[in-house]
Amino acid sequence: MDFSAYFLLTILSCFVLLLCLILFSDGDLTLMLKEKFGVPLDSARGKVYWVVGASSGIGKELSYQLAAHGAKLVISARRELELEKVKTGCLAVGKQAGLVDSDVLLLPFDVTEVESHQEHFDSVLRHFGKLDVLINNSGRSQKAEFQKIDLRVDKDLFNTNVFGLVNLSRVVLPYFLAKAQGHIVVTSSVAGKLGAAFSATYNATKHALHGYFETARSELYTKGISITMICPGLVYSDILTACATENPEEQLGGTIGEDEKRMKTERCAKLCAVAIVNRLDEVWISLNPVLLFLYVCQYAPSLGRAFLSRYGVRAAIKTRGKRDAGAPRTLDSSRSS
């Protein structure tokens, strides 16, 4: 075998190995490596994490993961009663790690009320005397056809999914800069990496988060500030309950079908925690074939777009969830954050 044939065989073998690793993973390869050999989750012990959007889904399970490893927590969302349940859960799983009642601060608020952000941050500092990590997890999903979306829906979702999180980060940032260290975490989505069908406004908000925070990373990298973008795929949650539609003040009220292929929320939250303690820049968390498709879109974008145009609508229809009987419901205070 001459050198060129040996070289080509080596390249092909490496490609097959990488493909197999991706197909048998539920996160990008860097994240999988850090899960096995990186900074352990116990490094969260004693640090203060502010989880915004902690009342359900990934935010709730992430709070449990951090609490179980001794982290001190500020948990925020609109729904105070749900936050009370989350606090109880955090204290239960964190008991062995030494957590006591004062180690979990309940701080309910609406992230879109930006004028209150400084006041709430001051409350965090009064209670704990410090903040180590801000986790921006608040947001709403959406299911709608592009051409039918009322512009007021676009504005509402951007206020919730983007502007509230950007403003809160800007409120916290001077404190981090004064210490020359800090960590901002943003829950984006695989929808922030590509244009999935029937979720135009939601996709746009996630793309906008990447625009804002990738820029912030480039400006703040030399100033001791880390920024982690987390991109989960399909996860079991109640996200469709308060999911927006094409009409203002309306929610889908759907449920996720039991036959859908989705990641368990607990597993997603654990991988989120791994990404956070290892201060990774961006991570992808998803089952296949979505994970593989992300790699295709990243490294062969034309091929990825062609596949998305042909099969994206069909796949989106399968994952839109089972809608409750009757008309969509008017939006009320039960919507998640």
Residue range 265-299, pLDDT digits in tens: 999 999 999 999 999 999 999 999 899 989 998 98
Residue with tokens 């998640």, as numbered in its chain: 336
- pTM score of the predicted model: 0.90
- Which CATH number goes with the domain that contains 115? 3.40.50.720
d(CA 32, CA 148): 40
Q: Identify the top-confidence range among 180-184, 218-222, 331-335.
A: 180-184
pLDDT at residue 319, rounded to an integer: 52
Give the residue numbers spanning the domain of 133: 30-330
17: in domain? no
Domain-located, residue 218: yes
DSSP assignment of 265-323: HHHHHHHHHHHHHTT-SEEEE--TTHHHHHHHHHH-HHHHHHHHHHHHHHHHHHTS-EE
Q: Quick count: other Cβ atoms within 10 Å of Cβ 260?
A: 13
What is the structure's pLDDT at 6? 75
Residue 12 domain-assigned (yes or no)? no
Report how many domains make up the chain. 1
- Asked about 202 being catalytic, the answer comes back as yes
For residue 273, tell me if it sits in a domain: yes
> How many CB atoms are closer than 10 A to CB 270?
20
9 falls within a domain: no
pLDDT of residue 324: 41
Determine the Cα–Cα distance for residues 160 and 233; give it in Å rounded to an integer.
20
Could you tell me what percent of the chain has a pLDDT over 70? 89
CB environment 216-252: b (16+ within 10 A), e (fewer): bbeebeeeebbbbbbbbbbbbbebbbbbbbbbbebbb
Q: Output phi, psi for 138, to 5 deg.
A: -70, 145
The larger pLDDT score, comparing residue 252 to residue 159, is at: 159
Q: Copy the structure tokens of residue 148.
A: 């039918």
Residue 10: inside a domain: no
Cβ contact 118:171 at 8 Å = yes
Give rounded-to-5 percent helix, strand, coil for the chain.
55, 15, 30
Confidence of residue 259 (pLDDT cuts 50, 70, 90): low
Q: What is the pLDDT of residue 334?
A: 35
Q: Between 192 and 196, whose confidence is greater?
A: 192
93, 137 contact by CB (below 8 A): no
Mean pLDDT of the 95-111 span: 96
**How many degrees, rounded to 5, is the angle at CA 276 between CA 135 and CA 272?**
85
Q: Work out the pLDDT band at 254, boundaries 50, 70, 90.
A: low
- Give the pLDDT mean for 316-337: 46
Rounded to 5 degrees, φ, ψ at 32 are -65, -40
Q: What are the structure tokens assigned to 193, written together?
A: 């990496």
pLDDT of 322 strictly over 60 = no
> According to the model, what pLDDT value does residue 236 have?
81
**pLDDT for 336:** 41
Answer yes or no: is 7 within a domain.
no
The single residue of 64, 175, 202, 311 carrying the catalytic annotation is 202
Domain annotation covers residue 337 = no
Average pLDDT, the chain: 89
Q: Which of 55, 249, 80, 72 is nearest to 153 (CA)?
A: 249
Amino acid at 323: R
Confidence of residue 8 (pLDDT cuts 50, 70, 90): confident
